[in-house]
Amino acid sequence: MTLIKSISGIRGTIGGLPEDNLTPIDIVKYASAYGQWIREFRKKENYRVVLGRDARISGEMVHQLVMQTLVGMGIDVIDLGLSTTPTVEVAVQLEKADGGIILTASHNPKQWNALKLLNHEGEFLDAEAGASILELAEAADFAFSEVDHLGQVVRNQAYIDIHIDEILDLPLVDAEAIRKAKFKVVVDGVNSTGGIAVPLLLEALGVHPVKLFCDPNGEFPHNPEPLKEHLTDLMREVVEHRADFGIVVDPDVDRLAFVDEKGEMFGEEYTLVAVADYVLSQTPGNTVSNMSSSRALRDVTKQRGGEYTASAVGEVNVVKAMKATNAIIGGEGNGGIIYPELHYGRDALAGIALFLTHLANEKTSVSQLRKRYPAYFMSKKKISLTPDLDVDGILAGMATKYADEEISTIDGVKIDFPSNWVHLRKSNTEPIIRVYTEAGSQDEADKLADRFLGEIDALAKG
């Protein structure tokens, strides 16, 4: 059982002992710290926070605890109920709220849940704000409101529709071209809120959705991380229904992956590449992705005359770099697309609409579209942490060993070789070391990852 406290929120497994897991005591404690931070940071008379959740089994329990804690601190809550992470982000902006919380553990299995914390701009908290909340929580430095000053709850379950309307209004979303294409698409909603939002978006665009695992009951039918090994049902259904392609999102709908018409993975790394290619073709500019993402975005950006920047891993770091470079699109290679024209947050719904427009305009198949982009292959592996594992020492040792190569240590250790790369870093969301590699073939990428797994093991054993 696990509890992970980080600057981006609190994440853990449900049940067990306080401070070791995500228990009701921990939920109230960190919701209180966030509420106190809102009051201290915003310094005004009345406060409002947007609250939404994915469809996890524990979601209703966590939702009630967080909502009533904020009410107890004198903060009004705009309750979206079942929602998505990007929908909450959009709602914070449109409501001019003081912050937002989405209750989701993203791609983690069903026993996990989390409080993802947003600022008044609908963006994830920066390091300074996150650290302040952790300090408030540890010191229990918060006060609750007296009875005449309790907050109020306003329920608004229309925000998925409002979010879709905002997407349809984007200049680069051509709903008419999409309707004329008469696409049929299989949707894997992993029995969470993507099963609500994605079909609604597709229907609004004139696309025929074939629903797979779209019952938002929180019983994930497979590992919710949208990777090839978890998507055999989707790949089969695309072929059986003779669909144009398949869509899968994670439980909170900020990650997006496609399956082509042949039932093959488009490649989650290429979600951002394809959408960025379309956006850059219409509005030239700069791009950003994190340093664990494919080189393909760099290549496409340069072909379109823009500049590419690699940031540290984490949405807040990508957004910071995007603002600094005035990037017109960015995101993460895990299928997260950030399109500032709508908002600064990973948004699978916006990504779907832009991808559909790209496909409709190009009048080609998804498999043919994929062949247009540089052929890189990634291997993503991990090592579970144990109490005796000196992660910092291992990463420092790797940096020293490969000091003659192109090295970046802004986030773990990334080693850029001429024809491939490896990125080693401690995860912010799971007790693991991630080992990502990219090369010109899958075999080369896998062998490179296995080689570094062996080298890490050797360093760990001294």
pLDDT, one tens digit per residue, over 243-301 is 999 999 999 999 999 999 999 999 889 999 999 999 999 999 999 999 999 999 999 99
pLDDT score for 384:
86
Q: For residues 45 and 268, give the distance between their C-alpha atoms in angstroms, rounded to a whole number.
A: 45
Among 115-119, 430-434, 456-460, the range of highest mean pLDDT: 115-119
pLDDT score for 6:
78
Stretch 74-93: mean pLDDT, rounded?
98
Residues spanned by the domain of 437: 377-460
Q: For residues 232 and 272, give the distance between their C-alpha atoms in angstroms, rounded to a whole number.
A: 22
Q: For residues 22 and 18, give the distance between their C-alpha atoms in angstroms, rounded to a whole number.
A: 7
Tell me, yes or no, whether 290 and 334 share the same domain: yes
How confident is residue 334, by pLDDT bands cut at 50, 70 and 90? confident
Tell me, yes or no, whether 393 and 359 share the same domain: no
Exposed/middle/buried for residue 140 (C-beta within 10 Å: 0-12, 13-18, 19+): exposed
Chain-wide mean pLDDT for the chain?
95
Please report which residue ranges of 283-422 form alpha helices under DSSP H.
296-303, 315-325, 348-362, 366-371, 391-401
Contact 243, 365 (CB under 8 A): no
Buried/exposed 57-72: b ≥16 CB within 10 Å, e otherwise: ebbeebbebbbbbbbb
How confident is residue 1, by pLDDT bands cut at 50, 70 and 90? low
Instruction: Evaluate if residue 461 carries a pLDDT over 90.
Output: no
Tell me, yes or no, whether 309 and 178 share the same domain: yes
Nearest to 269 by CA among 208, 329, 335, 194: 335
Tell me, yes or no, whether 360 and 386 share the same domain: no
In a 3-state reduction of DSSP, which class is residue 282?
Answer: helix
In a 3-state reduction of DSSP, which class is residue 315?
Answer: helix
Nearest to 202 by CA among 25, 413, 59, 352: 352
Nearest to 288 by CA among 317, 309, 319: 309
pLDDT score for 132:
94
Contact 331, 272 (CB under 8 A): yes
Tell me, yes or no, whether 309 and 338 share the same domain: yes
In a 3-state reduction of DSSP, which class is residue 317?
Answer: helix
How confident is residue 305, by pLDDT bands cut at 50, 70 and 90? very high
User: What digits encode the pLDDT tens for the residues 231-245?
Assistant: 999 999 999 999 999
CATH code, domain with 300: 3.40.120.10
For residues 448, 317, 335, 446, the Cα torsion angle rounded to the nearest 10 degrees is: 0
Q: For residues 46 and 49, give the distance between their C-alpha atoms in angstroms, rounded to a whole number.
A: 10
Q: Among 8, 58, 83, 106, which one carries the catalytic annotation?
A: 106
Q: Which two tokens stand for residue 338?
A: 């950030």
Q: For residues 334 and 299, give the distance between their C-alpha atoms in angstroms, rounded to a whole number.
A: 18
Domain boundary among 315, 343, 371: 371
CA 50 to chain centre: 19
Crossing angle of helices 159-168 and 85-95, rounded to 10°:
80
Within a 10 A sphere around the Cβ of 219, how many other Cβ atoms? 14
Tell me, yes or no, whether 153 and 182 share the same domain: no
Tell me, yes or no, whether 16 and 139 share the same domain: yes
Report yes or no on whether pTM surpasses 0.85: yes
**Tokens 């990650």 correspond to what residue?**
255
User: What digits encode the pLDDT tens for the residues 198-227?
Assistant: 999 999 999 999 999 999 999 999 999 888
pLDDT score for 4:
85
Stretch 129-145: mean pLDDT, rounded?
94
How confident is residue 458, by pLDDT bands cut at 50, 70 and 90? confident
* Residue 106 is a catalytic residue: yes
Domain boundary among 338, 371, 404: 371
Per the structure, the count of domains in the chain is: 3
Tell me, yes or no, whether 234 and 310 share the same domain: yes
**Tokens 């062996």 correspond to what residue?**
454
Please report which residue ranges of 259-347 form alpha helices under DSSP H.
268-282, 296-303, 315-325
Instruction: Evaluate if residue 349 carries a pLDDT over 60.
Output: yes
Tell me, yes or no, whether 140 and 183 share the same domain: no
Stretch 28-45: mean pLDDT, rounded?
95
Tell me, yes or no, whether 337 and 364 share the same domain: yes
Q: Which two tokens stand for residue 277?
A: 């290619």
Nearest to 160 by CA among 25, 349, 343: 349
Stretch 63-69: mean pLDDT, rounded?
98
CATH code, domain with 441: 3.30.310.50
pLDDT score for 211:
98
Tell me, yes or no, whether 317 and 386 share the same domain: no
Instruction: Evaluate if residue 2 carries a pLDDT over 80.
Output: no
Range in 5-19, 55-69, 275-289, 352-366 with the lowest mean pLDDT: 5-19
User: What digits encode the pLDDT tens for the residues 396-427?
Assistant: 999 999 999 999 999 999 999 999 999 999 88
Please report which residue ranges of 223-267 form alpha helices under DSSP H.
232-240
pLDDT score for 342:
98
Tell me, yes or no, whether 147 and 238 share the same domain: no
In a 3-state reduction of DSSP, which class is residue 451?
Answer: helix
